Amino acid sequence: MSSELHPVGPEPPQTYWVRRTVVIVAAILVLAVVVALIVNGTSSGSAVQPTPPPPTPIVAETASPSPMSTELRSPTAVAPSESATAKASTKPKAKASAKASPSPKVTAKPGPLACPPDEMRVTLNGKQHLKVKKPNVFQLSLINGSGQTCIASITGKNFELKIYSGTDRIWSTNDCSTAIKSITKKLPAERVVEWSLAWNGRRSRDDCKNRPEIPGAGTYFATAQLDGAKPVQLRMILRG
């Protein structure tokens, strides 16, 4: 108690009292301000309100946008056009790492055609002098005169060897289907296909048998005929 009334220190007592007076006056002023605020709030009949929130900004109304402007400003994705879709669909695919080489096309070359009969040359050779009832072996050939390779064909239907004496029909390969053996051969230009054919010196009939009459001495003509080609003849003289 004596230290409060009589301050002890290096400074004079007046200095400590001035300090204490300043502190007391400041405390009284703060207390007075608080009391005044309380009294003012009570007399107005409303409690102290908290700091109001900042006012909401007012946005001016604008006219409703037209459908066109709405479409322009709308963020909705627009469906791609047909042309764009077509371009996207035709976009080339990525190349494979290893491209398979296409198999080479094999084109079959056309084979040779049948020999044109009008450009074929027939030859006929055999004995020209022989005795009655003696056989004669004829040597026949067909020459390709077409100038290109072709298929030569000799059959009993397109070739005939016949023997006549004047108008008398003596013998013919047409009387027997087995008299001529069929020949089919690829024949280059100017090449020859050869074969032989025998006549037994008798008369023939259409059942592959011989007629009983025997050709007598005289002059006979053997004719070789390929259908469409020029016929050739061989003269024979039979002696008794």
Q: pTM for this structure?
A: 0.55
CATH architecture of 117-239: Sandwich (2.60)
Rounded to the nearest angstrom, the gap between the alpha carbon of residue 154 and the centroid of all alpha carbons in its chain is 45
Q: pLDDT by residue (tens digit) across 19-57?
A: 778 788 888 888 888 777 777 765 554 444 445 555 444
Q: Which of 137, 150, 117 is nearest to 195 (CA)?
A: 137
| Statement: residue 72 has pLDDT above 50 | no
Radius of gyration of the CA atoms of the chain, in A: 69
Lowest mean pLDDT among 5-14, 47-56, 97-106, 145-154: 47-56
Residues ≥6 apart with Cβ < 8 Å to 173: 156, 159, 160, 161, 162, 179, 180, 197
Residue 217, pLDDT score: 96
